Amino acid sequence: MDHHLVFSGRFRRVAPGLALVIVLLAITVSGAAASGSASERDLDVAGAPIQPAPVDPSLEKALSQISSARIQHTIETLVGFYTRSTLSSMETDLPKGEGVTAAADWIAGELNRYSAACGGCLEVKRDTFTEPPQSGPHARIVRPTTITNVYAVLRGTDPAQARRVILVTGHYDSRNTDVMDDHGAAPGANDDASGVAVSLECARVLSKLKFPATLVFATVAGEEQGLNGSAHLAKLAKDEGWQIEGVLNNDIVGGNTTPGDKFQDKSAVRVFSEGIPATATPEEVRRLVMLGYDSDSPSRELARAVTDVARTYDATPEATAIHPVLEFRLDRFLRGGDHYSFNKEGFAAVRFTEWREDFNHQHQNVRTENGVEYGDLLKFVDFHYVARVSRINAATLATLAAAPPAPVNVVVVTSNLDNNSTLRWSAGEGAPAGTKYEVLWRPLSAPNWQRLTRDGIQAPGSTGGEYSVTLPISKDNAIFGVRAVDAAGHASLAVVPMPVR
């Protein structure tokens, strides 16, 4: 542990024993500093502590337009479809205006309305497919079933970067106690009309801005039947060559308002992320564990980026700030989410979920038993909380879409036994002129980046795009990362270096 002793002001009367302790402590600390103790550790001799990035005025203006009233309207409308069971897409006897297909039509209409408001800036699309019957005793789709994902694309304005994609999603299907019930009431206010509201609100406010990279605002179905919609969309993205840099999945972000729940924390939202990529081979897993990179997957760096952005845009016009809590786990016990569909295709993806869930208000028939009210009802959603989660999502989407592409070929040189660290990297494809690079580091035991330097320099003799920096920090004591930054302070995801000799 580091010890720092600072004296200020005057001592008036001090008990003799206490005075002796203070003198001895001062001598001890002074002697330790003189002998090169941990108070002068190499981790701190370069760079500076990480500080929040500057606020982007145009983004802050857009964020100020996020509206809890609009979010309430979205969630109320989705609840009004009575059931949004994915299986209801195959039923013909539902009353007009009910069911998952009616919900999909309404979502598409909202996205088209946002597009009209920005002069046709959004490409509104439907990803419709037929999910084949599942087999086994726990099958949740027993006949061919039509599933539709609805999404809108805000194309990047820079031809060199427009293939880069950052995506936000929530699932618009719902369920009650019986996952096979395609007619019964399944309001799904929190699970997951709240996440759909985040995606739609991000589309509404960010469609008024332009970014070098592309944003996709998605809503998917089939989540409750086995992540079917997101799996199809993720595979579509892979097959079509989308360069997805990050997926923000919002599922159960309603800030449950059950009366008497003393432990709900409205100032926090959990951000779950995988540690080792789902697509890693056994050899890659072995190497990542050996290097101590089991907490530095692209998804984990995406989660860290969320916390960085939140520190910059931590004020809200409606209520207190909300802070993301890094959850170093793929998801909650016994549950799964749409982010994992994207992980399995090799994309970085995280899940946002409220701090404390009430399971009486998830996957339950609407009823009251023994004085306990069950069902995922509108009354248990905090619209201001959803608005604050929307703000973090929108800020993260915009920051990553505005940032230059992340560096590539990032390595740390390990050819010599020494106490320095030399890092090398190349500019990402399409990196614009003026792109700068930040080298980040943290102790091996720390969850978040702690310090950075902006001393990334072009390598001697390079014709451009190749960078190198040597820091007086032992590579054995730190984990490093490199990220690209533009002149306004928009930063890419960090990339950890692989060792080379």
> For residue 412, is pLDDT > 80?
yes
Grade residue 315 by pLDDT with cuts at 50, 70 and 90: low
| Rounded Cα gap, residues 245 and 348, in angstroms | 6
The CATH number assigned to the domain holding 235 equals 3.40.630.10
Q: Which residue has the higher pLDDT, 149 or 454?
A: 149
Q: Are residues 458 and 360 in the same domain?
A: no
pLDDT digits (tens, 9 = 90+) for 433-446: 989 999 999 999 99
Grade residue 40 by pLDDT with cuts at 50, 70 and 90: confident
> Model's pTM, two decimal places?
0.90
> For residue 17, is pLDDT > 60?
no
**Total length of the chain:** 501
Evaluate whether residue 5 is within a structural domain.
no
Q: Are residues 266 and 387 in the same domain?
A: yes
Q: Are residues 75 and 100 in the same domain?
A: yes
Grade residue 325 by pLDDT with cuts at 50, 70 and 90: very high
Q: Are residues 282 and 415 in the same domain?
A: no
Q: Are residues 384 and 451 in the same domain?
A: no
Q: Tally the domains of the chain.
A: 2
Mean pLDDT of the chain: 90
Q: Which of 384, 402, 420 is the last residue of a domain?
A: 402
Would you state the pLDDT for residue 455? 55
| Rounded Cα gap, residues 498 and 1, in angstroms | 29
Rounded mean pLDDT, 144-170: 98
Evaluate whether residue 319 is within a structural domain.
yes
Would you state the pLDDT for residue 12? 36
Would you state the pLDDT for residue 125? 98
Lowest mean pLDDT among 12-16, 62-66, 417-421: 12-16
Evaluate whether residue 444 is within a structural domain.
yes
Indicate the DSSP class of residue 89.
Answer: G
Evaluate whether residue 26 is within a structural domain.
no
Judge residue 90's burial from the number of C-beta atoms within 10 Å of its C-beta, 0-12 exposed, 13-18 middle, 19 or more buried: middle
| Rounded Cα gap, residues 155 and 492, in angstroms | 18
The CATH number assigned to the domain holding 458 equals 2.60.40.10
What share of the chain in percent tops pLDDT 90? 84
Q: Are residues 370 and 446 in the same domain?
A: no
Q: Are residues 368 and 425 in the same domain?
A: no
| Rounded Cα gap, residues 327 and 27, in angstroms | 42
Q: Are residues 443 and 338 in the same domain?
A: no
> For residue 337, is pLDDT > 60?
yes
> For residue 42, is pLDDT > 50?
yes
Between the alpha carbon of residue 346 and those of residues 123, 238, 424, the distances in Å are 25, 9, 24
Evaluate whether residue 181 is within a structural domain.
yes
30: part of which helix (H) or strand (E)?
A: helix 16-34
246: part of which helix (H) or strand (E)?
A: strand 243-250
| Rounded Cα gap, residues 499 and 415, in angstroms | 9
Tell me the residue range of the domain where 216 lies. Answer: 57-402
The three-state (H, E, C) secondary structure of 189-251, written as one string: HHHHHHHHHHHHHHHHHHCCCCCCCEEEEEEECCCCCCCHHHHHHHHHHHHCCCEEEEEEEEC
Grade residue 429 by pLDDT with cuts at 50, 70 and 90: very high
Would you state the pLDDT for residue 262? 86
Q: Are residues 296 and 438 in the same domain?
A: no
Cis peptide before 192 (omega within 30 of 0): yes
Q: Which of 346, 373, 402 is the last residue of a domain?
A: 402
Rounded mean pLDDT, 54-70: 96
pLDDT digits (tens, 9 = 90+) for 100-152: 999 999 999 999 999 999 999 999 999 999 999 999 989 999 999 999 999 99
Rounded mean pLDDT, 174-183: 97
Q: Which two tokens stand for residue 426?
A: 């190349």
- HSE, side-chain direction, 13 A CA sphere, residue 33: 9
Q: Which residue has the tokens 């302070």?
A: 489
Evaluate whether residue 49 is within a structural domain.
no
Q: Are residues 273 and 391 in the same domain?
A: yes
Q: Are residues 105 and 248 in the same domain?
A: yes
Return all residues near 363 (Cβ < 8 A) that are at least 6 apart: 175, 176, 177, 179, 191, 224, 376
> For residue 478, is pLDDT > 60?
yes
Q: Are residues 294 and 412 in the same domain?
A: no
> For residue 59, is pLDDT > 60?
yes
Q: Which of 369, 402, 435 is the last residue of a domain?
A: 402
Would you state the pLDDT for residue 7? 27
Evaluate whether residue 113 is within a structural domain.
yes
Evaluate whether residue 119 is within a structural domain.
yes
Rounded mean pLDDT, 486-499: 96
